[in-house]
Structures are given as C-alpha cells and as structure tokens.
C-alpha cells in the first residue's frame, strides 16, 4: 500500500528542513500547502523493498501479507454524498485499494439507510475489513450503519477524530458529511483513518464491552 503524507505529518517536522519520503508516497494537497508554509522541502528516497509501512488495513495485529478483504474498501452514499463518493473512489485507488462501490449511482434522491446497511453488511460479513459511507451530514448513515451487528461506525470531521476512532474504538466504518466537509478535508480524514491501526491494550477491553452489549441485545 502507498504511504500517505498528511498535513499533520508535515507539522511534526521542523521549519526550513527536509522531509524524507519514499518514492511511492502520496502527498496530500494540504500537506503540500503546509510544507510550503513551513519552508519544508520533500526529498524522495528509494523505497526499501522490505519496508511494508504505508496505509494499513486497519486490522489489529495484522502483520505480513494482507488478507484479500483488507485490500478492498466498501463505499456507499446517498444522493447527497454521491459526488464526494466518486472523488474518494479515485483517491482510494491511488492509495492501492480496490473499491467495492455499493451505490448510489447518481444524484437522484434515494434513502441513506439502504447504503449504510449495504456497506455495514459487507464489513460485518468479512467481504471487506473497512467501509466508508457518505450522506449530506453523515449523522444518519452513522446511526444506520451501527444497527448492523459487528459494525462500529464513526462520524469523523477532522484528522483527530479519524485517528481516535481507529486507535481507541477500532471503528470499521467511516461516515462523512459531504455537505459539511470539503473534498480536501475528506481526503485527509480518509487517509488518516485508513492508515491508523487499532491500538489494542486497554482499548481492547472497552471494544470487547461494546461487543458484549451487542451480544446481550441479540439474546434479549
């Protein structure tokens, strides 16, 4: 998978210095702008064939060769999120993912729960490990996706919430509000979300409790 350099990565580098990036790195537009602002230049280095760093599949403890499902991201949107969905599909492919597009196919009015459920089921059934759903605000899709057993959908609106949802909550579906998030910001959020692994540790106990709530609801 191609590594993604975001604006937050650039901010971790001192002003007026060089930032070493591998030859296959994808530098986001916001990262380029931040580098110019800070007087930072990117120096391209040859990629080490043994270096497997880059966008992670997001599965906790996933090492070595990636499972087939980890190479695919399911994506869906209603009419409000259709245009941003199409843009994100292009970025996903650039980052080395295959895309499972579950609709919609145009801007004619449709109902967001249908697409949130479709993406959620693809994740829950193991067809993919991660999914993205878009509607105008992102709220409804998050609510709907979370009704699918096994889904932990997170509505994210910046890089911090994207990272937190993966590190702490092991979120497996990202929802975005297409009318509230610029294309550039959505691209950065998706890049961070996809590249952040679950931290495990104390967070595993809490995610297990989320699963227990779900299991008790099934049995009631």
Check if 203 is active-site.
Answer: no
- Looking at the DSSP assignment, which residues form a beta bridge with residue 26? 4
Pair 131, 119: CB distance under 8 Å: yes
Among 15, 91, 168, 203, the one annotated catalytic: 168
Pair 152, 210: CB distance under 8 Å: yes
How far is residue 54's CA from residue 14's CA, in Å, rounded to a whole number? Answer: 22
SS3 29: helix
Sheet holding 153-155, edge to edge: 98-101, 72-77, 130-135, 173-177, 153-155
How far is residue 146's CA from residue 126's CA, in Å, rounded to a whole number? Answer: 16
Q: Catalytic positions, please?
A: 168
């Amino acid at each position: 998978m191609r590594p993604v350099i975001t604006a937050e990565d650039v901010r971790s580098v001192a002003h007026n210095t060089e930032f070493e990036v591998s030859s296959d790195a994808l530098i986001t537009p916001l990262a380029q702008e931040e580098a110019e602002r800070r007087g930072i230049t990117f120096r391209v280095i040859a990629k080490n064939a043994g270096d497997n760093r880059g966008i992670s599949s997001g599965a906790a403890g996933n090492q070595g060769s990636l499972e087939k499902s980890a190479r695919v991201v399911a994506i869906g949107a209603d009419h409000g999120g259709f245009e941003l969905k199409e843009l994100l599909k292009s970025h996903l492919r650039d980052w080395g993912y295959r895309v499972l597009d579950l609709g919609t196919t145009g801007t004619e009015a449709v109902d967001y729960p249908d697409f949130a459920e479709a993406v959620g089921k693809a994740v829950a059934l193991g067809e993919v490990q991660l999914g993205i759903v878009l509607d105008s605000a992102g709220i409804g899709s998050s609510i709907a996706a979370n009704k699918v057993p096994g889904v932990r959908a997170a509505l994210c609106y910046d890089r911090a919430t994207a990272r937190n949802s993966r590190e702490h909550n092991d979120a497996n579906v990202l929802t975005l509000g297409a009318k509230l998030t610029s294309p550039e910001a959505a691209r950065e959020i998706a890049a961070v979300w996809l590249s952040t692994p679950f931290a495990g540790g104390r967070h595993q106990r809490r995610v297990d409790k989320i699963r227990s709530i779900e299991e008790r609801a099934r049995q009631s």
